[in-house]
Amino acid sequence: MELAKLIKERRSIHRFEDREVDPALVAELLDTAVWAPNYHMTQPWRFIVTYGEGRRRIAEAVRIMKEKRELDPVKKKEVGEKFYNKIMAIPMIMTVIMTESPNLIERQDDFASTSIVIHNFSLLAWEKGIGLTWETYPWIHEPEFREAMGIAPGERVLGNLHIGYPAAIPNPQPRVPAAERITFVDKA
Ligand SMILES: Cc1cc2nc3c(=O)[nH]c(=O)nc-3n(C[C@H](O)[C@H](O)[C@H](O)COP(=O)(O)O)c2cc1C
């Protein structure tokens, strides 16, 4: 697909077909996605790709978190079950993790580079008919999730990518034309 078309037509996908995504294809796409610009070539990222029965690991952690935080004892089980089922309905979840440099500037640069890897992957996946949403719900930072996924101290979770074949493609949300935000400077 032409790059401009790919960039404009990619959408964040929230509803997926009940169809597995091939982990080997995901690995192949990631191998291209990591060709992102990266100052000092720290390549601070790693990825946990969860699918099939593996999803229970995230679903159970979410169930525990949601039950713990629901104060109404009558609602606890119901709320936990709802979130468990929500996770199990997602064909594949990729947790994107970045090693945090103690140096603030490097950490910011690394965050930018890892974000580029995510978007590279998103575009490559879209080209193959696979959609995703980059999710940043607060519980990716909670100890229950970190422990379930084996995330070490000094590692930051950038998000969970919910991945699958789209069951519905949302309408695009209009962008402010870049011309309104550009200042061209050609005089001293
Ligand atoms: C850093 C980042 C975090 C995001 N977090 C969420 C999220 O937690 N939940 C969600 O539904 N969408 C999330 N999104 C997706 C945006 O909502 C989406 O990109 C935006 O609505 C534009 O839609 P489009 O991607 O289809 O063009 C996130 C996107 C980015 C780049």
Pocket test for ligand 1, best of 135, 137, 139 (most atoms within 8 A of CB): 135
User: Is domain 15-170 annotated with CATH 3.40.50.920?
Assistant: no
Q: Is residue 101 a known part of a binding site?
A: no
Verdict on whether the full-model pTM lies above 0.85:
yes
Give the domain ranges of the chain: 15-170
Q: Is residue 19 a known part of a binding site?
A: no
Q: Is residue 95 a known part of a binding site?
A: no
pLDDT digits (tens, 9 = 90+) for 117-152: 999 999 999 999 999 999 999 999 999 999 999 999
CA–CA gap between residue 170 and residue 159 (Å, rounded) = 21
Q: Whose CA is nearest to atom 7 of ligand 1?
A: 135
Q: Which two tokens stand for residue 187?
A: 């005089």
Q: Which of 127, 129, 107 is nearest to 44 (CA)?
A: 107
- Ligand 1 neighbourhood includes 162 CB (under 6 angstroms): no
Cα–Cα–Cα angle for 16, 22, 23, rounded to 5 degrees = 110
pLDDT digits (tens, 9 = 90+) for 32-47: 999 999 999 999 999 9
